Chains A and B, each alone.
Chain A
């Protein structure tokens, strides 16, 4: 029982880290990123091949590297590789491609990465994936299953806390404010001398680095990783969490994560099983996610905990109303 509760909480914590990562990419830069799970997967694989011994699988099954390094180095490599990959993908996708074009490019990128990783058995052993990952620190701790599951939960919570504190600082830093200004009004931000492309690229990379960290934690929690462990549609679960909680706001995103996990991920487990229908639970889960996204956008687009706005209500109210009207008419035409 302790193991079960700890595993639910651990997955929830990792999920919260991923939601915070996506919130930097979507909530701060305003660009709809659908590729997050590609970075989670790359982070997971990189940390796996860093900690695993060299591949002894019979060819053509094989995984690259196999460095037998400690867990923390695996996490560090995962973050570095995901950061670099984010810069590469972002430099293509953000170059004059914004809005829906950006979103479609990120979907295409994800599917390319998915196709290459799952079809090529030489890089990360294709569909069979990597398995038998060492349990971090358990070599020296030597805990039983219950104790270790609690220890790993603690580890993930520490990671979440570090990410949260880092992002809170970043949010209020000049970089964070400049980045959010590009989300609000690209032209105005550029007119004030901001390099919109570079700011958004940095935001995209920060999200990628955190996603890589989440991926590493996920892989070592599961102690195995293969293409079945990441479905591109899972990213919409994260979006549901972000929309429910409040786009852009770290605390809101954490609250949305709890809400979505409790309501959708865990509650649907207790639905009566339909005999001979293995997909019913996951189908209902995704139907709820879709309806939740539509409902929140309709009735509470700012989320449960809206992002606090720094503005002067005395001067801005009438101007903003006019601007909103003009902007709305322009967008819908």
Chain B
């Protein structure tokens, strides 16, 4: 927060034409927080699932898309936003569980290499994305919630919907933290992440923990897809796929397999993308995220942030 105040101060004194630029900047920060929230939901899921299962899941984007379409269908039928969110979670969770049980687990059991498992997730994502295309068609499906009033909170102007998105992300992040630190399940997850063999020797049902982790990551992914669709205002079958590389960028910047790093990575990438839109055409937002990704991989492949003691899940 101090850094932010300092930046605001510098911009305030440095801005020539008064508050115009500052307003734009704060607006961008506000957008950045929303992007970061969506990103955090998705990235923490990806990173947590990677740390426990050791599979980089390229179908994660399609799990998000499926969650978003599930929510859209639910809301068209019931007109209930909360039910839509729940369906998004269930949809994502069930798909992730299916991906693991039907496709990945049999390969992993027969000792397939990680690259093969990675290719399998790519192929599964390809199938899922085009099943959605086949069912719903490629045209934009408008998904707009009733407009909500904007309010001024500190220096930011945010709508109720944006506040709900940020709130949901914060609640889920705190939830993940509590699960990892204080529950038996979280402890078991961390044990399996460290060594599946040792966890099994100490009486942990590794296969069950892996399944539950897929379920949890899938549910978070589905929720992230729902929130992404709502904030964009329309759905396409490539919704999650286009977002996925940004998710990977945030996960890698935060150190892939480190859920807490993923949160910081999401914040950094989310803010960087929206603030960059002040200076560059907004189509280059993705390029900014990928630049972070590539620079991180070059200088510090383990993630830009130092590991916290015991924070590796």
Contacts and interface: CB of A to CB of B under 8 A. Distances in A.
A101 B249 CA distance: 11
B130 A97 contact: no
A329 B109 CA distance: 9
B171 interface: no
A105 B114 contact: no
B294 A105 contact: yes
Interface in B50-106: 54, 56, 103, 106
Contacts of B106: 298
Interface in A95-114: 95-97, 99-101, 103-105, 107-109, 111-112
Given A105-B294, A333-B195, A116 B126 contact: no
Nearest to B138: A279
Q: Which of A99, A284, A286, A290 has most B Cβ within 10 Å?
A: A290
A287 B50 CA distance: 25
Interface string A111-124: 11001100100000
Given A112-B287, A279-B137, A104 B252 contact: yes
Nearest to A292: B123
Contact of B197 (A286, A289, A325, A333): A333
A130 B124 CA distance: 35
Nearest to A89: B294
Given A290-B130, A333-B195, A108 B298 contact: no
Contacts of B116: 297, 301
Given A104-B252, A105-B294, A293 B123 contact: yes
Given A104-B293, A236-B123, A111 B115 contact: no
Interface string B136-156: 011000000000000000000
Contacts of A108: 245, 248-249, 290, 293-294
Given A278-B138, A283-B133, A32 B115 contact: yes
B301 A32 contact: no
Grouping DSSP codes into helix (H, G, I), strand (E, B) and loop, the A interface class, with mixed when no group exceeds half, is helix
B108 interface: yes
Contacts of A332: 108-109, 111-112, 196
A328 B116 CA distance: 12
A92 interface: yes
B9 interface: no
Grouping DSSP codes into helix (H, G, I), strand (E, B) and loop, the B interface class, with mixed when no group exceeds half, is helix
A328 B108 CA distance: 9
Contact of A287 (B111, B130, B281): B130
B90 to A, nearest CB: 23
Interface in B14-49: none
B138 A287 contact: no
A112 B115 CA distance: 24
Interface string A276-300: 0111101111110111011001100
A329 B111 contact: yes
Interface string A192-207: 0000000000000000
B170 interface: no
A72 B283 CA distance: 35
Contact of B114 (A116, A290, A331): A331
A230 to B, nearest CB: 15
8 contacts: A32-B119, A101-B297, A104-B248, A104-B293, A112-B291, A279-B134, A331-B112, A331-B113
Given A32-B119, A287-B134, A301-B116, 13 more contacts: A32-B115, A32-B118, A100-B115, A108-B248, A111-B286, A112-B286, A285-B130, A290-B124, A290-B126, A291-B123, A293-B122, A325-B111, A328-B110
Closest 10 CB pairs of A and B: A328-B111, A290-B127, A290-B126, A108-B290, A293-B123, A283-B134, A286-B130, A283-B133, A279-B138, A283-B130
